[in-house]
A = this chain, B = another copy of it.
Amino acid sequence: MGELKRDSFTLPGESGYEALTLKMAEKWGADVIRDSDGTQLSDEIINSGYGIYSTICLIRSDNEWAKQNKDKLQQNFLMSFPVMAEGDTVTISPLKGFFTEQFTIDTHTDAKEFWQVFDRTTQKEVPLSDWEFHASSGLVTIKNTKKYHYYTVNFLAIRLWEEISMYNHITNNWGEKEHLMAIEPRYPEAQKQILSWLENWCISHPATTVVRFTSMFYNFAWFWSDKKNCRDIFSDWGSYDFTVNPIALREFEKQRGYKMTSEDFIHNGNYNQTHNVPSKKYRDWMDFINEFVVSFGKQCVDLVHRYGKKAYVFYDDSWIGVEPYGTRFPEFGFDGLIKCVFSGFEARLCAGAQGIETRELRLHPYLFPTGLSGEPTFAPGGNPKLDAQKFWQNVRRALLRKPVDRIGLGGYLHLIEPFPDFCDYIEKVTDEFRLLKSFHQSGKPYCIPGKIVILTAWGKLRSWTCSGHLHEHPEVDLINILESLSGLPFEIEFKSFEDIQTSGIPKDTAVIINAGTLNSAWSGGDYWKEETIIEKITEFVANGGGFIGVHEPSACDFSSQFFQLAPILGVDKDLGTKKCLGKYQYSVTADSFITAENPIITLPVCDGIFVLNEEVNVFAEVNHTPIITGHCFGKGRAVYLSGYQYGIENTRLFLRAILYAAQKEDAIQSYICSNPMTECAYYPASQKIVFINNTGDMQKTSVQTLEGKTFQVDLKPYDIEILTI
Contact = CB atoms under 8 A, between A and B. Distances in A.
Given A531-B121, A567-B84, A235 B580 contact: yes
Interface string A230-251: 1111111001000000000000
Contacts of A146: 531, 535
Contacts of A576: 275, 517-520
Nearest to A274: B580
A550 to B, nearest CB: 14
A270 interface: yes
B535 A581 contact: no
A201 interface: no
Interface in A567-597: 567, 575-585
Nearest to A574: B270
Contact of A230 (B276, B559, B579, B582): B582
- The dominant DSSP class at the A interface is loop
Contacts of A520: 576-577
A578 B473 CA distance: 12
B275 A580 contact: yes
Interface in A524-549: 529, 531, 534-535, 538-539, 542
A236 B559 contact: no
Contacts of A84: 538, 567
Interface stretch (A147-155, A322-330, A427-435): A147-155
A394 interface: no
B275 A579 contact: yes
A496 interface: no
Contact of A579 (B148, B473, B585): B473
Given A120-B560, A120-B561, A559-B123, A148 B230 contact: no
A465 interface: no
Given A538-B148, A583-B230, A584-B230, A577 B123 contact: no
Interface in A114-133: 120-123
B148 A535 contact: yes
A629 interface: no
- For A476, A531, A584, the residue with the greatest tally of chain B CB atoms inside 10 Å of its CB is A531
A705 interface: no
Interface residues of A, number: 63
Contacts of A577: 270, 273, 275-276, 519-520
Contacts of A233: 581-582
Contact of A559 (B121, B273, B539): B121
A575 B525 CA distance: 13
A558 interface: yes
B581 A534 contact: no
B580 A236 contact: yes
A567 B150 contact: yes
A535 B227 CA distance: 30
Contact of A580 (B120, B150, B239, B517): B239
A171 interface: no
B268 A579 contact: no
A225 interface: yes
Contact of A271 (B227, B529, B542, B580): B580
A467 B576 CA distance: 14
A376 interface: no
A269 interface: yes
B582 A149 contact: no
A355 interface: no
Nearest to A584: B230
A470 to B, nearest CB: 14
Contacts of A227: 584
A501 to B, nearest CB: 14
A229 interface: yes
Contacts of A564: 121
Interface string A37-54: 000000000000000000
Nearest to A271: B580
Contacts of A271: 580-581
- For A221, A276, A564, the residue with the greatest tally of chain B CB atoms inside 10 Å of its CB is A276
A531 B119 CA distance: 11
Contacts of A581: 232-234, 269-271, 273
A118 to B, nearest CB: 8
A371 interface: no
A531 B576 CA distance: 25
A229 B122 contact: no
A234 B580 contact: yes
A561 B84 CA distance: 14
Given A152-B560, A520-B577, 16 more contacts: A121-B531, A122-B529, A148-B535, A148-B538, A149-B534, A227-B584, A229-B585, A236-B580, A239-B580, A273-B579, A276-B577, A473-B579, A476-B579, A517-B575, A517-B576, A519-B577
Q: Which 7 A-B pairs have the closest CB atoms?
A: A232-B582, A148-B538, A123-B559, A273-B580, A236-B580, A268-B560, A120-B560
Interface of A: 82, 84, 120-123, 146-150, 152, 221, 225, 227, 229-236, 239, 268-271, 273-276, 467, 473, 476, 517-520, 529, 531, 534-535, 538-539, 542, 558-561, 564, 567, 575-585
8 contacts: A121-B535, A123-B559, A152-B560, A225-B582, A232-B582, A233-B582, A274-B580, A275-B577
